[in-house]
Amino acid sequence: MTKTPAKANVECPHCGFKQMEYAAAKSTICRQCGRSFSPNAPKAGLKLVTRSEAPSSDASSPLRRFEGMWKGRGTRLVACFECKRKHEVSDAATSTNCPGCSAHIDLRDYKIATSFSRSIRTRGDVFLTNKGDLSSTSVVCQSAVIEGKLRGNLQCEETITIDFVGKIPGRLGAKHIALERRSDVQCFRRVTVHTIDIKGRMSAEIVATGAVTIHKTGILEGSVTAKSIAIEKGGLFSGQLAIGQAGLTQGELLPTEAPAAACEAEGNVSITADPLPAT
């Protein structure tokens, strides 16, 4: 009787897809992305994790911040990228199909610790480590932590946490952005948010439908259009400021010397000034 060769479950280093292959195989083709890889080669720096897996990082790591959101949930509500219909899925699921239009929805979390250029569109989270280099044209996710190089556009449904020193050439968009104290970033494209907290140094054009907050360690240079702005004592803002768009309230600034200002129509205020510390 002929003995059947042993098979093993192998993972594609390019897209994370798992498939059964002969253990003795030297190379194979991924059945999902069609790229060639060696089943016995070391895994690449991209890691896809399900929400049922607990991160092994230290409690102070930014990735650990998401752990609380993962625990204690049997199901979660996700929206279709195509028709926007929402439906419940299991926390352990890595993908689903929209019950309305049957479109595929990726639910995986991406941890990127090396060079990576494939576009990402997921209802999971993205963690770009300090050794990662994400050059994807488009990244769409739920929340993201940025510690490495980001070269493309990033759009998040919830929060972008930036702990990085360098340039960001792509667009940023999120419900909330948190710029950590050690950060020093220069954004070449518009940053669109609801609210933003700045504890480090940032140079950007910001459009916020809510509040812009510059903390005591924060420095902001550039153009700001927002519903309101608050600068803590020790914080610094330099650039052009437009507060009070149609339907929005006026800006909130701590007491300081009033710079020259020109009132515009619709209640807008345009301010161009030298670096302005809060007192």
Same domain, yes or no: 29 and 81: no
**Cα–Cα dist 60/46, whole Å:** 21
- The predicted-structure confidence for 226-267, as pLDDT tens digits, reads as follows 999 999 999 999 999 998 753 444 444 444 444 443 333 333
Contact 67, 145 (CB under 8 A): no
Q: How far is CA 176 from the centre of its chain?
A: 10
Vertex 134 angle, CA 129 and 139, to 5°: 110
Domain end call among 85, 111, 139: 139
Compute the average pLDDT of residues 160-171: 94
Verify that 34 and 125 share a domain, yes or no: no
Residue range 179-191: average pLDDT?
Answer: 95
| One domain, residues 173 and 130 | no
3 assigned to some structural domain: no
Residue 147 domain flag: no
Within a domain: 151: no
Q: Are residues 173 and 272 in the same domain?
A: yes
Length of the chain in residues, anyone? 279
Any domain includes 130: yes
Residue 204, token pair as written in the block: 């950007």
Q: Are residues 168 and 234 in the same domain?
A: yes
Number of domains in the chain: 3
SS3 label, residue 260: coil
Whether 75 and 135 map to the same domain: the answer is yes
Backbone angles phi, psi at 76, to 5 degrees: -145, 160
Query: What's the pLDDT at 36?
Result: 74
60 and 175 assigned to the same domain: no
Euclidean distance between the first and the last CA atom of the chain, given in angstroms as a whole number? 87
Q: Do 255 and 202 have their domain in common?
A: yes
Quickly tell me which residue has 């926007």 as its tokens: 84
Please indicate whether residue 56 or residue 30 has the higher confidence score (pLDDT). Answer: 30
188 & 279 share domain: yes
Domain of residue 61: give its range.
Answer: 45-139
Report the amino acid identity of residue 44. A
The answer to pTM > 0.75 is no
Identify whether residues 133 and 226 lie together within a single domain.
Answer: no
| 50 and 36 co-located in one domain | no
